[in-house]
Amino acid sequence: MNKNNNINKTNAAQVQQGDVLLNRVGQLPADCQRRNNRTIALGEHTGHHHTFDEGVAVMDAPGGKVYVVNETDHPVNLTHQEHRPVVAAPGEIYAFGIVREYDYFSEMQRSVRD
């Protein structure tokens, strides 16, 4: 996965910024609720955050899944204090996810905490 880090591929189907994953999907599920901010992940011990520039809507779908929609006709950056920006392509919809890891000391898997 590290062999490709060309952020100019604005039509990318799979996008990753640190622990944040975006996977392009065809359509938004029904009955999504729009959030009133564009931050999709927060760092507990750094104060850092993954936040879209203006133009992207973050949507909560029934069942707990989260989607992001670029509602503009141009690429919109997802920014973070440490990672370089990645972009959501114009008009595209992405499923949002967080990388998971396995904790051998508790023998359980969980989403990565940062």
Partner 1 sequence: MKYTLTEKHRAQLKPWADKWIANAMSTKAMDDAEREICRQAVVELYAAAGKKAPRVVFVPSPFAARFAAGFAAAIWKTRKNRYKTFDATLKATQAATSDATSAATDAATAAATRAATYDATAVAIAAATDAATDAATDAATDAATHAATHAATQDATQAATQDATSDATSAATAAATHAATVAATSDATYDTTYDTTSAATAAATVAATAAATQDATYDATAAATDAVTQDLTTREDYSLWYVVPGMKQIVAFGASLAAYSLALIFAQEIWKSRQGGNTWSGWSAYLSFFRYVAKLPIDYSKWDSFEKLSEHSGIRFVHEKFCIISDRPKTLLVDAQNRPHCDTGPFCEWRDGSQLYALHGVHIPAHYVLTPAEKISPAAIMAETNVEIRRELIRKVGIEMMLSKLPHKILDRQGDYELLSIDFTGLTQDARYLKMLNPSIGTWHVEGVARECATVQQAINWRAGDMANVASWNPEQLT
Please report whether residue 72 would count as binding partner 1 according to CB under 8 A.
Answer: no
Please state, in angstroms and rounded to a whole number, the distance separating the CA atoms of residues 24 and 67: 9
Among 36, 44, 64, 73, binds partner 1 (CB under 8 A): 44
Choice between 69 and 94, CB closer to partner 1: 94
DSSP class of residue 64?
A: S
Please state, in angstroms and rounded to a whole number, the distance separating the CA atoms of residues 88 and 102: 29
Please report whether residue 26 would count as binding partner 1 according to CB under 8 A.
Answer: no
Rg (CA), the chain: 14
Residue ranges in contact with partner 1 by CB under 8 A: 1-7, 9, 12-19, 21, 23, 43-48, 81-87, 95, 97, 99-105, 107, 109, 112-114
